[in-house]
Amino acid sequence: MSLLEIRNLHVTVGENEILKGIDLTVNAGEVHSIMGPNGSGKSTLAQVLARRDAYHVTEGSILFEGKDLLEMKPEEAACEGLFLAFQYPVEIPGIGNTYFLRSALNAQRKHRGQDEMDAMDFLPLFREKLKLLEMDDKLMNRSLNEGFSGGEKKRNEILQMAVLEPKLAILDETDSGLDIDALRIVAGGVNSLRSPERAMLVVTHYQRLLNYIVPDFVHVLVDGRIVRSGGKELALELEEKGYGWTEHDTRQPVGARA
């Protein structure tokens, strides 16, 4: 059974149809990259998978581990193991990072029938992941994303991912706003989380991130449709020729796998 199966997905926001029939299959252990120009629907796809209300699915289906994802509320999808690293993580003043992350982890553990983790057990786990992402211990006492730089916020997303250990991680333009060093650290964190049980969807504009997080499959999303799929070399071709190339090429769009 595949981890994620998207069939003929049509999504509308307000009056506009953004996704016009997406087919995609992702198996555990795979890293897929979704690339495309601005407005192609990349973020929409990410948000729909995370079950955000504002996006209306007008047609199609999404199965997550064989279960109907469209029937799930955001927190249910999360507890089932779906994680979205936000493109623009929000700030929530007054909520400590430690308290927040432990609450989230425990909510998910509870859903899975596991015991909740108390503060004593959580702290070493948190510290270990902080180290992995080369983040300061002091962060533990600060409020959620409050006063964080753009790069720090992105690293915090991957930190949370490291603690929550999802089955499917969707990274929405994680590289935007990162300098070379931060990019290296974030990519390192993401790569350390690759495993046969886990799949990732890396949404990005630029090929650069994919030098660090090497994908197994690349899909090109243009104007709400996947127009091309291929292996990691496809990303390099795009970098060279630009997205316009995909529209002019006479090759037929390939299915989800190269």
Give, for 241, the enclosing helix (H) or strand (E).
helix 233-241
Lookup: tokens for 72: 């799930």
Find out whether 203 and 172 touch, Cβ atoms under 8 Å.
yes
Q: Which of 77, 56, 59 is nearest to 67 (CA)?
A: 77
Number of residues interacting with other proteins: please give it, by CB under 8 A.
29
Using CB under 8 A, which residues numbered 32 to 51 contact other proteins?
50
Least distance to other proteins, CB of residue 247, Å: 33
Look up tokens 């390939």; give the residue: 254
4 binds other proteins (CB under 8 A): no
Dist. CA 35–CA 82, nearest whole Å = 20
111 binds other proteins (CB under 8 A): yes
Interface mask toward other proteins for 87-106; x: CB under 8 A: --xx-xxxx----xx-xxx-
- CA-CA-CA-CA torsion sign (235, 240, 244, 250): negative
The single residue among 24, 30, 69, 83 that binds other proteins, judged by CB under 8 A, is 83
Q: Give the SS3 label for residue 90.
A: coil
The single residue among 19, 45, 84, 130 that binds other proteins, judged by CB under 8 A, is 84
108 binds other proteins (CB under 8 A): yes
Find out whether 200 and 190 touch, Cβ atoms under 8 Å.
yes
- CA-CA-CA-CA torsion sign (223, 176, 207, 78): negative
**Closer of 156 and 204 to other proteins (Cβ):** 156
Dist. CA 241–CA 226, nearest whole Å = 17
**Closer of 73 and 241 to other proteins (Cβ):** 73
Least distance to other proteins, CB of residue 133, Å: 17
The single residue among 44, 156, 160, 246 that binds other proteins, judged by CB under 8 A, is 160
71 binds other proteins (CB under 8 A): no
Binding site for other proteins (CB under 8 A): 50, 52-53, 73-75, 78-79, 83-84, 86, 89-90, 92-95, 100-101, 103-105, 107-108, 111, 143-144, 160, 164
